[in-house]
C-alpha cells in the first residue's frame, strides 16, 4: 500500500523531496515493495516523522546500519538514519564518545585510536553502528557490552516526544545517562528512536594506526605484534572442563584484552581469503587441535605489564593442559588476527562466506560455563545436520567469549547454510526451535529472539512479555512503533513477534 499523495506530501514537507522515496527501485534495495523510505537528518525531523506516523496511524521502523538484517513483511515508513552520521564529541578525560546512529565503529575507532582509546565493536563488525545501545562484541572482556556502555541518550519516543536521559536533560551534557531518580535506560530499548548517544570508551595502549601492508584481500602488519606489546594465541584443550577452567582463570587474573571462544572454523575463516583456502586450513587445524579452544589477545600497557600477562597466561595454559595452535604463532597469521579482531572485528567471514547465510542460537551477557551443557546438546544436533549435508560441514562446535573480566560472557552456536536451499533453511529453523525449547525446559536461558513466540518464553520468565506489553502501550498508545527498538537480551519485539503487541484497532500494518 502506497501512502496517499497528501500524506506523502506531509512527510515530504518534513524531510524535503530528496529525502523521501517510494520509487520501486529504492524500495527493492530496502528489501520490501511495501514501504516508504525516509531519511531524516536530525532529531527534530525524526520526531516530526514519528508524530506524523501517529497522526495517520502508520507504523514505522528505524534502521541505524541495518546489520540486524530485518526483513520487512508489510508496509510502513522505513526511517533510514544514514544522514545522521556525525561524531558529536570525543571526551578523552571523561572517556566517552557521542555519536549519531550512522556513525560506524570503524569511523569512531579510527578517531579513538589516535587518542589511545577504543570502543565496543559489535559482533557484526566495525561496519555496524557505534551507538552504545546496540550489540555485544568480541572485545567485551575489555570494552563491556552494548547494554552497559550507554551514558546520556537522546530518545525520541514512539509518540515523537524527545526525552533526554540523564545529564543531557539536566545540563545538556553527555557524561551520565541515569536519573534523576530511576533510570530510563531501563525502557528506551523498548521502542522509539535513539538519535544521539554517549558511549563509554576505553584505554588502548596500541598504535594510533596499524602499520598495514599488503594488498586486498591479504593484508598483514609490517610490525610483529610482539613489537607492539601484543600477542595473539589460539589454545585448544583436552576437554570442555579444562577450557572453562582456563577461561575462568584468565578472566579472574585480568590479563586478557580479548578472550574469544572461536572454534577452529572461525579462526580459519578469518585468516583465509576464500572458501577453498578456508576449508583446507580448517582441515589442517582440525588435525592439530586436541579439542575445544579459544583465542586470547594480550595487550601490554608497558613492557613489564606485557611480560607479566604473558607469564600468567603461560602458567594457566600449563595448568589446564592447553596447547597452542602453531599456525597462529606465525607472526603473519597473528598480525592478521590482531588487526581483524581489534579493528575490523571478525564476524562476516566466519558467518556469511561459506554458505551465504547463518542462523544462531545465542545467549548474551551470561557466562559460557552456564550454558555449555545445553549447547553441547545443540552441537550434537547440529552434527546430525552436517552429516545429512544440510549445513556447512565445520567442526560443529559452540563457542563463547568473556565480558567484563569474565563477570559476564556470551555463548553461541550457529549453522552456516545456503538460504536458497529450502530443505537447509527448514532444517536450520527446526534445529533452532528444538534448541530454544531445550533452553526453556532445561532452565538454562531465555533463547535468542525470534525463535520461539514471546508468550511461550514470557510465561517461563516472570511474565516479562506482559509487563513489556504494558510499557509498549504506555509509550506507544497508537501502536505505530511496535516493530522498532533493539534488544539482544533474549526475545524482543523486532518484527518477529508483532502479533502479541499489535492492537488491530490502532495502527494496522497490512501483512
Partner 1 sequence: MAGNESLVKIFGAKNVLDDAETLEEYSGDFSFVSPVRPRCVVKPKNADEVQKLVKWANDKRTPLVPVSSGSPHFRGDTVPGIGGAVVVDLSGMKKIIRVDRAHRVAMVEPGVTFAELIPAVEKEGLRLNMPLLPRKSKTVIGSMLEREPVVMPKYHWDISDPLACVEVVFGTGDMFRTGQAAGPGTIEEQWAAGGAQKTPYGPGPAAWYRLIQGAQGTMGIVTWASLRCEILPKLEEPFLVGSAELDRLLELVHWLVRMRLVNECFVLNDSNLAAIMARKFPGEYQDIKDTLPPWVLFFNLAGYDYFPEDRVSSQIKGVSDITKRIGLEADKAVGGVSAVEMLKMVKRPSPEPYWKLGGKGACHDIFFITTYDKLEGQIGVMNDVANKSGYPALDMGVYLQPIVQGSNCHCEFNLFYDPQDPVELERVKELSAEAVNCLMATGAFFSRPYDRSARMIINRDAAYVDALNRVKTILDPNHVMNPGKLCF
Point out which residues bind ligand FAD (CB under 6 A): 61-70, 81, 101, 122-124, 128-129, 134-136, 193-194, 347-348, 351, 364, 484-486, 488, 494
Could you give the string, one character per residue 382-421, with x where binding to partner 1 holds by CB under 8 A and - elsewhere? Answer: ----------------------xx-xx-------------
346 binds partner 1 (CB under 8 A): no
d(CA 469, CA 493): 10
Distance, CA of 84 to CA of 103 (rounded, Å): 8
Spell 171-182 as b/e; 16+ CB within 10 A means b.
eebbbbbbeeee
Residue number, 167 or 484, with CB nearest to ligand FAD: 484
Between CA 165 and CA 156 the distance in angstroms is 11
Residue 502, contacted partner among ligand FAD, partner 1, none, CB below 5-8 A by kind: none
> Shortest approach of ligand FAD to residue 275 CB, angstroms?
16
Number of residues that bind partner 1 (CB under 8 A): 99
For residue 446, state whether it binds partner 1 (rule: CB under 8 A). yes
Output 161 or 280, the one with its CB closest to partner 1.
161
Residue 62 binds what, of ligand FAD, partner 1, none (CB under 5 to 8 Å, by partner type)?
A: ligand FAD
Decide if residue 114 touches partner 1 (CB under 8 A).
no
Region binding partner 1 by CB under 8 A among candidate stretches 9-17, 32-40, 147-155, 387-395: 147-155
- Applying CB under 8 A, among 492, 495, 498, 509 the residue interacting with partner 1 is 492
**Residue 305 interacting entry, from partner 1, ligand FAD, none, C-beta within 5 to 8 Å by type:** partner 1
Nearer to ligand FAD, 330 or 420 (CB): 420
Please calculate the CA angle 182-493-107 and round it to the nearest 5 degrees.
75
Measure the CA–CA gap between 240 and 243, rounded to whole angstroms.
5
Smaller CB distance to partner 1: residue 393 or 500?
500
Site pattern 289..308 for partner 1 (x: CB under 8 A): ------------xx-xx-xx
Three-state secondary-structure class, residue 157? coil
Binding flag, residue 248, partner 1 (CB under 8 A)? yes
Contact flag: residue 90 with partner 1 (CB under 8 A): no
Kindly state the smallest distance separating residue 213's Cβ from ligand FAD, in Å: 27
Closest approach of partner 1 to the CB of residue 353, in Å: 31
For residue 312, give the nearest of 264, 375, 253, 369 by alpha carbon. Answer: 253
**Closer by beta carbon to ligand FAD, 124 or else 424:** 124
Q: What distance in Å separates the CA atoms of residue 511 and residue 493, rounded to the nearest whole number?
A: 16
Report the helix count and the strand count for the chain, using DSSP H and E.
Answer: 19, 20
Q: Which is nearer to ligand FAD, 67 or 475 (CB)?
A: 67
List CB contacts of 159: < 8 A, sequence separation 6 or more: 50, 51, 54, 475, 476, 477, 478
Of the residues 101, 135, 137, 190, which one makes contact with partner 1 according to CB under 8 A: 190
Minimum separation from the CB atom of position 420 to partner 1 (A): 32
Residue 489 interacts, among partner 1, ligand FAD, none and using kind-specific CB cut-offs from 5 to 8 Å, with partner 1
> Which among 83, 122, 117 has a CA at the least distance from the CA of 103?
83
Does position 94 bind partner 1 by CB under 8 A? Answer: yes
For residue 202, whether the previous peptide bond is cis, meaning omega lies within 30 degrees of 0, is: no
Report the distance separating Cα 34 and Cα 159, nearest Å.
23
User: Residue 446 binds what, of partner 1, ligand FAD, none (CB under 5 to 8 Å, by partner type)?
Assistant: partner 1
- Look at residue 13 and give the partner it binds from ligand FAD, partner 1, none, a contact being a CB closer than 5 to 8 Å depending on partner kind: none
In 223-382 the beta strands, taken as DSSP E runs, fall at 230-236, 258-260, 293-299, 323-324, 357-364
490 binds partner 1 (CB under 8 A): yes
CA-wise closest residue to 32 among 64, 77, 68? 77
115 is an interface residue for partner 1 by CB under 8 A: no
Q: What angle is formed at CA 101 by the lines to CA 95 and CA 107, rounded to 5 degrees?
A: 60
Considering only residues 14-33, where is the footprint of partner 1 by CB under 8 A? none
From the list partner 1, ligand FAD, none, pick the one residue 81 interacts with, judged by a Cβ distance below 5 to 8 Å according to partner type.
Answer: ligand FAD
Rounded CA separation 454/246 (Å): 36
Residue 252's nearest CA partner among 367, 130, 343 is 367
The sign of the CA dihedral 23, 24, 26, 27 is positive
Of partner 1, ligand FAD, none, which one sits near residue 194, judging by CB under 5 to 8 A according to partner kind? ligand FAD
What's the closest the beta carbon of residue 493 comes to ligand FAD, in angstroms? 8
DSSP 362-412: EEESS-HHHHHHHHHHHHHHHHHHHHTTSS--S----EEEEETTTTEEEEE
Least distance (Å) between residue 62 CB and ligand FAD: 5
Amino acid at each position: 500500500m502506497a501512502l496517499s499523495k497528501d500524506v506523502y506530501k506531509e512527510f515530504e514537507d518534513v524531510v524535503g523531496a530528496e529525502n523521501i522515496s517510494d520509487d520501486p527501485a529504492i524500495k527493492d534495495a530496502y528489501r520490501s515493495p511495501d514501504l516508504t523510505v525516509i531519511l531524516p537528518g536530525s532529531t527534530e525531523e525524526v520526531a516530526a516523522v514519528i508524530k506524523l506516523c501517529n497522526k495517520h496511524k502508520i507504523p514505522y521502523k528505524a534502521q541505524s546500519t541495518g546489520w540486524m538484517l530485518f526483513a520487512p513483511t508489510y508496509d510502513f515508513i522505513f526511517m533510514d538514519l544514514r544522514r545522521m552520521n556525525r561524531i558529536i564529541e570525543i571526551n578523552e578525560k571523561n572517556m566517552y564518545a557521542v555519536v549519531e546512529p550512522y556513525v560506524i565503529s570503524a569511523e569512531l575507532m579510527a578517531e579513538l585510536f589516535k587518542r589511545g582509546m577504543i570502543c565496543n565493536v559489535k559482533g557484526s563488525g566495525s561496519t555496524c553502528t557505534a551507538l552504545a545501545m546496540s550489540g555485544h562484541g568480541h572485545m567485551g572482556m575489555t570494552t563491556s557490552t552494548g547494554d552497559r556502555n550507554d551514558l546520556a541518550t537522546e530518545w525520541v519516543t514512539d509518540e515523537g516526544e524527545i526525552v533526554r536521559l540523564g545529564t543531557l536533560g539536566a545540563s545538556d551534557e553527555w557524561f551520565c545517562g541515569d536519573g534523576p531518580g530511576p533510570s530510563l535506560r531501563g525502557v528506551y530499548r523498548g521502542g522509539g528512536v535513539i538519535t544521539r548517544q554517549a558511549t563509554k570508551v576505553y584505554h588502548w595502549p596500541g598504535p594510533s594506526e596499524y602499520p598495514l601492508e599488503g594488498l586486498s584481500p591479504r593484508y598483514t602488519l609490517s610490525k610483529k605484534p610482539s613489537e607492539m606489546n601484543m600477542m595473539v594465541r589460539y589454545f585448544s584443550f583436552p576437554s570442555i572442563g579444562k577450557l572453562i577452567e582456563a577461561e575462568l582463570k584468565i578472566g579472574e587474573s585480568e590479563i586478557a584484552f580479548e578472550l574469544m571462544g572461536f572454534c577452529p572454523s572461525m579462526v580459519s575463516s578469518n585468516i583465509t581469503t576464500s572458501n577453498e583456502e578456508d576449508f583446507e586450513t580448517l582441515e589442517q587445524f582440525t588435525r592439530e587441535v586436541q579439542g575445544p579452544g579459544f583465542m586470547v589477545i594480550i595487550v601490554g600497557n608497558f613492557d613489564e605489564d606485557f611480560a607479566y600477562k604473558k607469564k600468567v597466561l603461560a602458567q594457566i595454559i600449563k595448568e589446564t593442559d592447553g596447547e597452542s595452535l602453531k599456525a597462529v604463532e606465525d607472526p603473519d597469521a597473528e598480525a592478521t588476527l590482531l588487526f581483524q579482531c581489534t579493528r575490523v572485528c571478525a564476524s562476516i567471514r566466519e558467518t556469511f562466506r561459506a554458505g551465504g547465510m547463518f542462523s544462531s542460537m545465542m545467549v548474551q551477557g551470561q557466562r559460557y560455563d552456564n550454558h555449555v551443557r545445553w549447547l553441547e546438546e545443540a552441537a550434537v544436533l547440529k552434527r546430525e545436520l552436517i552429516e545429512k549435508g544440510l549445513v556447512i560441514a565445520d567442526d560443529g562446535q559452540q563457542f563463547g567469549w568473556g565480558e567484563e573480566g569474565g563477570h559476564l560472557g556470551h555463548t553461541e552456536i550457529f549453522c552456516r547454510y545456503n538460504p536458497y536451499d529450502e530443505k537447509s533453511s527448514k532444517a536450520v529453523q527446526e534445529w533452532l526451535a528444538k534448541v530454544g525449547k531445550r533452553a526453556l525446559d532445561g532452565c538454562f536461558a531465555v533463547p535468542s529472539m525470534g525463535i520461539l513466540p514471546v508468550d511461550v518464553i514470557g510465561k517461563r520468565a516472570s511474565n516479562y512479555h506482559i509487563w513489556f506489553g504494558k510499557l509498549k502501550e504506555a509509550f506507544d498508545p497508537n501502536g505505530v512503533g511496535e516493530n522498532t527498538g533493539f534488544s539482544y537480551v533474549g526475545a524482543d519485539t523486532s518484527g518477529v513477534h508483532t502479533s502479541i503487541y499489535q492492537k488491530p484497532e490502532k495502527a494496522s500494518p497490512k501483512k
